[in-house]
Amino acid sequence: MVCAGDTAKTATATLSPFIALHGSCYKYIRPYRARLGSLRARAPLIKMSAEPTKDEWSDRVKALKTAVSNIVMDGDKDAVTHPRTLKRYVEAVRRSPLANQAEFYVLDVASAAGEPGLTIAHAFPQARVSLTDYSPAMLAWGKERTQEQGLTDRVTSAVANAEHMPEIRDASIDLVTCSYGLPFFDHVKGLREFRRVLKPGGLLLATNWARADEVDLGLILKEVAHALDPDAAPPLDACRLGDIPSFKQCLTAAGFDHAEVDIFNNPNGFVPGKAAEFLLHSSPLVPFLQKLESQGQENVQGRARTAVDEVLRKHQYLQPDGSVQFDRTIAHFYEARASHQ
């Protein structure tokens, strides 16, 4: 893991556990990003960005919703983010001085469908929350959930790149949250931005997946990709920040003190017959498979399907009823303070 001059590419969009948008969606992002200029100087609360209208986006969000509804998390079938993760955000805020403040400002980075920002807004009526994400399609989902939950008076949303958020003033935010977002962009740049926008002593709460050998899905993605083409560059490694000492060093280098980590497990799985659909159509394998197809490899989808089945069987993830159970999705919940210097 690198803490200076990191070269990690901004990844395709993903949702927990590892849902991905097709890279092709990103050609539509630029016009929305251009709107960020108008948001400058209005921090801390960011204005609602326009709803994306492209058919492709709504199709993509529909596919993502289907994928999420097929994930089973401790019996909570409709959860967008694992309840065990969300609980940690709420508890950390409850322990902090923010819980006693009359008002506090939250910047939720890489919020996708709006988490953990919406959960925090529910738990703390004094929280004013800005949901941000690089992907307008994801953000539209967060906005939809904000409306459904009746939180539009205190929760806004805006397209923003975590690596560079000029629309947010220095030292204007009390709490930055980033749940399973940092592996998908340049974490060094992102952490520096989090530190810049936080007030001195402000709180950073972030979750990362552990190393790939501690996350069943990470292992599967690697093995399927290797079975298809051992020489190809592997798909996006959502577990790349899973080494705790290295990530703590990154926090210190970015200007955070008192970093603490809580290691926990989010077992999850898929309803019968849906794991392969997720892996082939909504995970970081999607751009990987597209690349193999563009290189002229034959029957990529068919071979991928076979590889997925073999890997699921080999590791005994497949249950007799056709459902898939992942027992290990180890995650790291970090709590750190922006230094006073």
Q: Rounded CA gap, 279 and 17, in Å? A: 11
Residue 160 dihedral angles phi and psi, to the nearest 5°? -155, 145
Judged by CB under 6 A, which of 106, 120, 138, 318 binds ligand SAM? 138
The enclosing H or E element of 255 equals: none
Report yes or no: 84 and 114 within 8 Å, Cβ to Cβ: no
**Token pair in block for residue 270:** 């898929």
Question: Smallest distance, Å, CB 297 to ligand SAM?
Answer: 27
| Choices 45-53, 144-152, 174-182, 243-251; region in contact with ligand SAM by CB under 6 A | 174-182
Q: Rounded CA gap, 196 and 211, in Å? A: 28
Binding mask 183-222 for ligand SAM (x = CB under 6 A): -xx-------------------------------------
Does 57 bind ligand SAM (CB under 6 A)? Our answer is no
Does 182 bind ligand SAM (CB under 6 A)? Our answer is no
Contacts of 285 (CB under 8 A, 6+ apart): 20, 221, 224, 225, 235, 279, 304
Does 16 bind ligand SAM (CB under 6 A)? Our answer is yes
CB atoms within 10 A of CB 184: 25
* DSSP SS3 for 232: coil
Question: Smallest distance, Å, CB 88 to ligand SAM?
Answer: 11
Judged by CB under 6 A, which of 93, 112, 127, 254 binds ligand SAM? 112
- The smaller minimum CB distance to ligand SAM, of residues 72 and 307, is found at 72
Q: In 3D, which of 133, 173, 110, 117 has the Cα closest to residue 33?
A: 133
- The smaller minimum CB distance to ligand SAM, of residues 27 and 340, is found at 27
The residues of the shown chain that bind ligand SAM, judged by CB under 6 A, are 10-11, 13-16, 80-81, 110-113, 115, 133-135, 138, 161-163, 179-181, 184-185
